[in-house]
């Protein structure tokens, strides 16, 4: 548990998905209410005008939502509800297009009854960099399914719990940059947030190009807060009962 805090050997947390090791970066400890040493270092570098180095290690946003993956080419995910990493520009476009006052507004994609699918395309731009685009797909009601899945999914706005679940491999995530090939399209049906008053897309902060924290860099206060988080996670009775996520015998090793 929380072994990403004191793993001194790996440069970035890696997860094994479909037999392949994937880099997901290091969660920003600010999401756990802890002063984050990587953020501090980046801020110091910005203050000293080392902007390139600072921006390479500064926290990066990582958008997530829940979705049904409707395309059949992804064995592990097809036709199942899954956590989905939404590419940044796709998130921007959806947010703009879903706005009721937008010209030719697409309407609310996640509405259980009136929602619709989204078609995400991965292409290689003229400069060779990967690009993503999104289009409105077909209407798809999920009214019946939603009452079932609402109970099963977690609140994506609980950043501490979600990043813990991700780095400890207890939740699967579909990441287009790893899963999709160039010039491939995928059809998804975004789900509302478990708490329907909240936005269906949330975000996490991860650091890239940083090494794991050394044990001696973790202050006493940090240990204390991680312990509080562990207690909070253990108290998430719903998750314990439904999927046996937190094991009694797990200890934090710091």
User: Residues in the site for Zn ion, rule: CB under 5 A?
Assistant: 28, 36, 38-39, 59
User: Alpha-carbon distance 2 to 232, whole Å?
Assistant: 14
- Tell which residue, 23, 21, 20, 1, has the closest CA to residue 12: 23
Residue 178 or 208 with smaller CB distance to Zn ion: 208
CB of 218 to Zn ion, least distance (A): 14
E strand spans, 5-80: 14-17, 20-23, 26-27, 60-69
CB of 87 to Zn ion, least distance (A): 22
Residue 36 or 45 with smaller CB distance to Zn ion: 36
CB of 166 to Zn ion, least distance (A): 15
**Pairing mode, strands 81-86 and 173-174:** parallel
Residue 41 or 223 with smaller CB distance to Zn ion: 41
CB of 193 to Zn ion, least distance (A): 24
User: Alpha-carbon distance 154 to 22, whole Å?
Assistant: 23
CB of 185 to Zn ion, least distance (A): 34
Residue 174 or 206 with smaller CB distance to Zn ion: 206
216: Cβ–Cβ under 8 A, 6 or more apart, which residues? none
Residue 60 or 223 with smaller CB distance to Zn ion: 60
Phi–psi pair at 235, nearest 5 degrees: -80, -5
Question: What does the chain come to in residues?
Answer: 254
159-167 and 220-234 are packed helices; what angle lies between their axes, rounded to 10 degrees? 90
CB of 108 to Zn ion, least distance (A): 33
Residue 27 or 87 with smaller CB distance to Zn ion: 27
Helices (H) and strands (E) in the chain, counts: 8, 10
CB of 37 to Zn ion, least distance (A): 8
- Tell which residue, 54, 50, 23, has the closest CA to residue 38: 54
User: Alpha-carbon distance 194 to 200, whole Å?
Assistant: 8
Q: What is residue 223's three-state secondary structure?
A: helix
Residue 28 or 154 with smaller CB distance to Zn ion: 28
Question: Positive or negative, the Cα torsion across 81, 83, 85, 91?
Answer: positive
Look up tokens 């984050």; give the residue: 36
């Amino acid at each position: 548990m929380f072994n990403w805090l004191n793993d001194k050997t790996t440069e970035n947390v890696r997860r094994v998905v479909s037999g392949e090791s994937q880099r997901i970066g290091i969660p920003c400890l600010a999401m756990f209410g802890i002063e984050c040493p990587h953020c501090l270092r980046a801020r110091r570098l910005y203050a000293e005008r080392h902007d390139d180095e600072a921006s390479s290690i500064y926290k990066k946003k990582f958008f997530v939502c829940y979705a049904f993956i409707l395309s059949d080419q992804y064995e592990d995910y097809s036709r199942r509800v899954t956590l989905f990493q939404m590419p940044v520009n796709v998130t921007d476009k959806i947010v703009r297009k879903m706005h009721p006052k937008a010209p030719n507004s697409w309407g609310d994609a996640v509405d259980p009854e009136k929602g619709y699918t989204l078609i995400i395309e991965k292409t290689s731009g003229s400069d060779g960099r990967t690009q993503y685009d999104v289009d409105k797909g077909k209407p798809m009601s999920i009214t019946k399914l939603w009452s079932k899945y609402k109970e099963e999914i977690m609140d994506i706005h609980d950043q501490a719990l979600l990043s813990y679940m991700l780095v400890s491999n207890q939740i699967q995530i579909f990441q287009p940059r790893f899963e999709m090939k160039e010039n491939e399209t995928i059809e998804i049906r975004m789900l509302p947030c478990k708490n329907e008053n909240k936005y269906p897309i949330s975000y996490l902060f991860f650091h890239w190009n940083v090494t794991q924290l050394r044990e001696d860099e973790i202050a006493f206060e940090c240990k204390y807060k991680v312990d509080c988080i562990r207690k909070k996670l253990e108290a998430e009775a719903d998750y314990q009962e439904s999927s046996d996520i937190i094991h009694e015998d797990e200890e934090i090793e710091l």
